[in-house]
Chain A
Amino acid sequence: MDVRLTDEQELWNETVARLARDLAMTVPDDDAADRDVEAGWGRVLGLGVPALRSPALSGLDHTGVEAALAAEQFGRHLVPLPLVGQGLIAAEMLAAAGADDLLERVAAGEVRIAPALEPTLARVARPGTAAIAWDAAAATHALMVDDTPDGRVLVTVPVGSERVLGLDITRRHVVVPAGSAPEDVGATSAPIPPERWARVEALAHTALAADLVGIMDGALADAVAHVTERRQFGVPVGSFQAVQHLAADCLVQIEGARSCLWHAAWAVDEADVAEARLAAHTAKAYASRAGRDVVEMTIQMFGGVAITWEYLSHVRARRVWTDRRVLGDEGAHYSTIAAARLEAAAGAGVA
């Protein structure tokens, strides 16, 4: 057991952090998600992100931790680019299906593919149904999944033109009308066997958890800086115990979330499928609950300015509420975890 980032992982983390700082949303901006994707996406591709999860294209194995670190840094800096949806989740689906040709074109920026989610946002959508292409800035296509006897088969459909004006101003969502006909974008793919699909889901939950951890961490850093400077009653408000305790509670929950995240990110590739799934549900559950609580506490630390358009607090709250909902909030994951644990308890015959 050695639960630290390796030197290479530290280096990667710094590289991603530098890029994320460059691409950060620093003032609330409704147009950034469309505007920045033009120049910014190329830099994300330059990092090698959509190709990361395909060993054939990236030359790398076991990149769950690297994927999580990238998502965390992009979350921390509220980067308005589709790293999680297009760069990680859709790319992971393509990698799992062995669609390396298509993934290569995605990595070159020729095609832009976002995951299609059911309108509840709880699951990846099936072909033929109405769906929402999530994190779809500049996306040309959306990725759906057909559940066949041979495994999960990926289907690409063109995205429509109707926007969904959701809360999260750092991301774009686009309607995929019911009955959209598949459009072959050049490469077919093999069915994804159940075990591999479980890892796809684990990676998706982990990426969202990482985004949440980053948002929380950025929120606390900003709030701590604010309460250190802002003075009332002749002293910094951060010297008041009520404020200090909010900050301390934030850090405790962030460290709890980060601990679950690291385990999930490692387990995606390294652990057996059951452990990988459980770890990912755990990370997504913890980060979904803590994400809301931490951002709310930092809003309280800011005081009135947190309720203005001008400050970033609402941008964080918008992204957190969206991340919580996508692929299930903590309640959904608690149920799934309990189902797995109770099955094991019953199976062990310990009654």
Chain B
Amino acid sequence: MDFRDSPEEAEFRADLRRWLETNARDVRIPDDPAERARAQNRFHQRLYEAGYIALSFPSEYGGHGKPPTYEAILNEELAGFGAPPIEGVGHMSNALLLFGTDDQRRTLLPGLLSGATQWCQGFSEPGAGSDLAGLTTRADLVQVDGAPHFRINGQKIWTSFAATADMCFLLCRTEPDAPKHQGISILLVPMTTPGVEPRRIVNAARNTEFAEVFFTDALVPASCLLGQRGQGWAIANQLLAYERGPSDVNFIARIGTYLQSLEQDLASGRLPDDDMSRRRVGEAYVELRALQLKVQRSLTDRVHGALPGAEGSIDKLLLTRADQCIGHAVMDLRGADAVLAEDLSWDVYVWSRASSIYGGTQQIQRNIVAQRVLGLPRH
């Protein structure tokens, strides 16, 4: 067992720290949600240009061919530095890498990884949330000008970043006569396609980050298909397993950043420093560490060849614990200020509640752990 960096890891970490010192000291996380999203994307692109993004991806697609453990180092350092989080695209990128054709990987992966192309994930529908396989958005194979196309009709909801996205990772039904789970495919759809119309949804923190997306006779070439027809459910599950292993998304760094800012407010006297407050930040630190250290174990397994599977739900559930612990701490420690003004604290809190909903709810994750990891009987 060795938690220490290898010489190469240590050198990478030191370089990254130096880069952050010189380039990110004055990068602030803006309060305004739209500003924040833009700042986050800019920072992601700068990190990419500096060579710190897509660490575990092959170099021909703009990556660096390193073991997945480097992603953990990046997350730790961003969290330790209080830097803005990076874009959470690891799960979609991994799915594209695993299931895409050479051509799809070459044309789509670099932009997805660098943040130059913005992607959204069109899975959930008004009638298909937890029961995702119940989705009804259809894509029918048709000939247009002698070439095969998919004609898409239906509606997605809760699609994060849809209104600003360039591309959509779309889960839809291509085989209406096949059994529920076997009739689903994935299409990679340009958001500029006529007949694709996002409508923003205002969230509980007044942020318009997620949206509904309506598809009305939207036509895309058949080459937009990812993997095989009917393989969509398998791909979606692989992607969700990556999404639930939180190293591939930016959440650890985000929680770490909020914890640091609380600690600094206590240390500098901006917040009253008493034993009760200290216990709360101590508790949040412990929950966050449990998550980080579990992720290091999961990543070690991945280095040794295991694809993320049902165990990823354990990581996601630890993430939810840590996120909701810090969410409560932020609201409680900021006291009256947290309720007499609507600022970042509320946003942090709202996100912490979302953390037991997005990517499959806490209940769905627990079903997975109970049945697929512990082997308890199904009803």
Q: Tell which of B35-43, B228-236, B292-300 binds the partner.
A: B292-300
Any A CB within 8 A of the CB of B376:
yes
Kindly identify, within residues 1 to 59 of chain B, every residue whose CB is under 8 Å from any CB belonging to chain A. Answer: 1-6, 9
Q: Tell me how far the C-beta of A152 lies from the nearest C-beta in chain B, rounded to whole angstroms.
A: 25
B363 at the interface (CB under 8 A from A): yes
Distance in angstroms from B356 CB to nearest chain A CB is: 12
User: Which residues on B sit within 8 Å (CB–CB) of A247?
Assistant: 369-370, 374, 376
Pick the residue among A235, A255, A282, A345 that contacts B314 (CB under 8 A).
A255
Q: Report B-chain residues with C-beta under 8 Å of the C-beta of A9.
A: 1
In the assembly, what is the distance between CA of A200 and CA of B303, in Å? Answer: 34
A4, B300: Cβ atoms closer than 8 Å: yes
**Which chain B residue lies CB-closest to A261?**
B293
Q: Is B72 an interface residue (CB 8 A)?
A: yes
Smallest Cβ distance from B361 to chain A, in angstroms? 11
When the two chains form their complex, are residues B376 and A227 in contact, meaning their CB atoms are under 8 A apart? yes
> Are B3 and A267 within 8 A (Cβ)?
yes
Which partner residue on chain A sits nearest B290 by CB separation? A256
Give the contacting residue for A249; candidates B267, B273, B366; CB below 8 A: B366
A65: chain B residues at CB < 8 Å are 1
Residues in chain B within 8 A of chain A (CB atoms): 1-6, 9, 69, 72-73, 82, 260, 263-264, 266-268, 273, 275, 278-283, 285-287, 289-291, 293-294, 296-297, 299-301, 303-304, 314, 317-318, 321, 363, 365-371, 373-379
Can you report 23 residue pairs joining A to B where beta carbons are below 8 Å apart? A1-B6, A1-B69, A4-B301, A224-B375, A248-B317, A248-B365, A248-B367, A248-B369, A249-B366, A251-B314, A251-B369, A259-B290, A270-B3, A282-B286, A285-B283, A285-B286, A286-B286, A333-B286, A334-B278, A335-B278, A338-B263, A345-B260, A350-B82
CB of A319 within 8 Å of the partner chain: no
CA A331 – CA B286 in complex, angstroms? 11
Q: Report the count of interface residues on A (CB-CB < 8 A).
A: 56
Q: What chain A residues lie within 8 Å of B280 (beta carbons)?
A: 334
Q: Identify B3's interface contact among A236, A257, A263, CB under 8 A.
A: A263
A166 → chain B, closest Cβ, in Å?
A: 26
What's the Cα separation between A264 and B162 when bound, in Å?
A: 43
Q: Decide: A228 and B281 in contact? CB cutoff 8 A.
A: no
A5 touching B1, Cβ below 8 Å: yes
Query: Which 10 residue pairs spanning A and B have beta carbons closest together?
Result: A334-B282, A244-B370, A256-B290, A338-B278, A259-B293, A248-B369, A248-B366, A351-B268, A338-B282, A345-B267
Is A323 located at the chain interface by the 8 A CB criterion? no
A39 partner residues in chain B, CB cutoff 8 A: none
Q: Is B376 a contact partner of A238 (Cβ separation < 8 A)?
A: yes
- Contact in complex: A255, B296 (CB < 8 Å): no
Residue A162 interfacial (CB < 8 Å):
no
A115 to chain B, nearest CB (A): 25
A180 to B283, CA, bound (A): 39
Q: How far is the CA of A346 from the CA of B1 in the complex (A)?
A: 33
The yes or no answer to A163 lying at the interface (CB within 8 A) is no
Residue in B4, B6, B266, B321 whose CB lies within 8 Å of A256: B321
- Which residues of the partner chain B approach A343 to less than 8 Å between Cβ atoms? 267
| Chain A neighbourhood of B267, CB < 8 A | 342-343, 345-346, 351
Enumerate chain A interface residues (CB-CB to B < 8 A): 1-6, 9, 65, 224, 227-228, 235-236, 238-241, 243-245, 247-249, 251-252, 255-257, 259-260, 262-263, 265-267, 270-271, 282, 285-286, 330-331, 333-339, 341-343, 345-346, 350-351
CA distance A4 to B369 in the complex (A): 21
Contacts of A337 in B (CB 8 A): 282, 285-286
In the bound complex, how far is the Cα of B375 from the Cα of A239, in angstroms? 10
| Residues on B with beta carbons closer than 8 Å to the beta carbon of A5 | 1
CB-based contact B379/A235 at 8 Å:
yes
CB contact between A252 and one of B281, B286, B318 (< 8 Å): that residue: B318
Which residue of B6, B82, B289 has the most chain A CB atoms within 10 A of its CB atom?
A: B289
Minimum CB–CB distance from B55 to chain A (whole Å) comes to 13
Closest B residue to A351 by beta carbon equals B268
Chain B positions within 8 Å of A244 at CB level = 366-367, 370-371, 374, 376
A241 and B4: CB pair below 8 A? no
CB distance from A230 to the nearest CB of B (A): 11
Q: In the complex, what residues of B have CB within 8 A of residue A255's CB?
A: 294, 314, 318
A70 to chain B, nearest CB (A): 15
Query: Are B278 and A342 neighbours in the complex by a CB distance under 8 Å?
Result: yes
Q: Which residues of B contact A271 (CB under 8 A)?
A: 3-4
Q: How far is the CA of A309 from the CA of B297 in the complex (A)?
A: 38
How far apart are the CA atoms of A5 and B263 in the complex, in Å?
A: 34
B268 and A346 within 8 A (CB):
yes
B357 CB → nearest A CB, Å: 16
Whether A338 lies near B281 (C-beta < 8 A) is: yes
The answer to whether B1 and A3 touch across the interface, beta carbons within 8 angstroms, is yes
A3 x B297 contact (CB < 8 A): yes
Complex CA–CA separation, A338 to B3 (angstroms): 23
Bound complex: CA of A267 vs CA of B3, how far in Å?
A: 8
